[in-house]
Amino acid sequence: MSINKRKIIVQKYGGTSVGTVERIREVARRIQGRKNKVDEIVVVVSAMGKETDRLVSLARELGTASLREQDVLLSSGEQVSVALLSMALLERGVKARSFLSFQLPIVTDERHSAAIIKQINVKNILDSLHEGEIAVVAGFQGITLSGNITTLGRGGSDTTAVALAAALNADFCEIYTDVDGVYTCDPQVYGAARKLRTISYEGMMELAGLGAKVLHNRCVELARKYNVKILVRSSFNNSEGTWVCEEEEEMEGALISGVTYSRGEAKISVLGVPDKPGIASLIFIPLADMGINVDMIIQNIGRNKAADVTFTVPEEELAKALQVVNKVATELGAEGVDYDQNIAKISIVGGGMRSNPGVASKMFQALAREGINIMMISTSEIKISCVIDARYTELAVRILHDAFELGGNSV
């Protein structure tokens, strides 16, 4: 059976979209309306509302350290939502069939709580579509070749949807959430935020990795790899969304696509470290061995052949990181260790940076005019990030949004 002669789309509905039975009925109504416009629809669903958080809390009460059993527990949330959505579709007279990961299967590696999809067998989905059904697939979960249930970690349902779209050679993937697209900044922080009509995979990956919560960068990376177009839309209204796709010529006119921020980081400084080859590795290898992700790094060379090494880590890993760093600092004969939890990372992202000089200086000047001190700086081809005092976060977002004239009509 060829899947190239029919129009197939994959839709994904997040937890807020299916948070109640009434919301699930509304999603079923939306799917029925969409079905009239395309040949085949595959729907990926997250757990209802805050169900995953509730299940995590139950596991913590028992203090279990078994990620295998936690995955068995957490995957049950999606089992409930796919069954309820299928029932809601049937209630409307729409043929539907639910699928859990093992019923396809969606095969992953053995990494519990952060599994990677290795392959998807879409035969059962194609059979369902051939029968005129809506295939409703549980997001976030997979199964190993040895038969263990796994979960995909943050953004797991988005990842499931994009992976299915790639496997089915779908026309595109619609991600329905509680926002109606990708904005130039968080509209709750600044009312002048503007919705983008399009954004490149690369730009979206940077925004997602730097704090924007619309899509997880892992699913965007997968979409870029397999050239799956993503349409981000709201399940609460019918407004046009934002396309995430390959960069096009008209995109190059936008110097900056957006401003984003992240408060969930902490800064650690190892002071007075001997300035000689190999010292940095002695600090960062133990952190890597503990699974602690280090983000921005700077090294200041001082007098007397000593240096200060400063870096950022996720705030929830600060205590664990300090245990490692204090031990290493003592072994190196460093002067001490300092840390700061009251920081935020402010970033600007845009493909136009590649061919337009002066973006960094414009950003720094805008912050300086408001007396906002920059502690650390990190750059790439299409982004600049600065660490600042957390109390200036929202002010910095508004300042940079205005400095780069990001307000106005959607583009």
Q: What is the pLDDT of residues 113-159, one digit of tens each?
A: 999 999 999 999 999 999 999 999 999 999 999 999 999 988 899 99
| The pLDDT of residue 248 | 62
The pLDDT of residue 255: 79
- Is 23 within a domain? yes
State which residues form the domain around 110.
8-178
Q: Considering the domain boundaries, does residue 365 fall inside one?
A: no
Residue 380: which pLDDT band, with cuts at 50, 70 and 90? Answer: confident
49-82: pLDDT as tens digits: 999 999 999 998 998 779 999 999 999 999 999 9
Does any domain span residue 199? Answer: no
Q: Quick check: is 27 in a domain? A: yes
| Domains: count for the chain | 1
Mean pLDDT score, 265-274: 93
At 387, the pLDDT band (50, 70, 90 cuts) reads very high
Q: Is residue 197 part of a domain?
A: no
Q: Which of the four pLDDT bands, split at 50, 70 and 90, describes residue 238? A: confident
Residue 137 maps to a domain: yes
Assigned token pair, 68? 């295998």
Q: Would you call the peptide bond into 105 cis, given omega within 30 degrees of 0 as the criterion?
A: yes
- Give the CATH number of the domain where residue 131 resides: 3.40.1160.10
For residue 383, what are the CA distances in angstroms to 204, 255, 343, 345, 353?
Answer: 11, 11, 19, 12, 8
pTM equals 0.84
HEC string of the chain?
CCCCCCCEEEEEECCCCCCCHHHHHHHHHHHHHHHCCCCEEEEEECCCCCHHHHHHHHHHHHCCCCHHHHHHHHCHHHHHHHHHHHHHHHHCCCCEEEECHHHCCEEECCCCCCCCEEEECCHHHHHHHHCCCEEEEECCEEECCCCCEEECCCCHHHHHHHHHHHHCCCCEEEEEECCCCCECCCCCCCCCCCECCEEEHHHHHHHHHCCCCCCCHHHHHHHHHHCCCEEEEECCCCCCCEEEECCCHHHHHCCCCEEEEECCEEEEEEEEEECCCCHHHHHHHHHHHCCCCCCCEEEEECCCCEEEEEEEEEHHHHHHHHHHHHHHHHHHCCCEEEEECCEEEEEEECHHHHHCCCHHHHHHHHHHHCCCCCCEEEECCCEEEEEEEHHHHHHHHHHHHHHCCCCCCCC
Burial of residue 176, with CB atoms counted within 10 A of its CB: 0-12 exposed, 13-18 middle, 19 or more buried: buried
Q: What is the rounded average pLDDT of the residues 1-21?
A: 82
The answer to whether position 121 is within a domain reads yes
Query: With contact defined as beta carbons under 8 Å apart, do 228 and 173 qualify?
Result: yes
- In a domain? residue 318: no
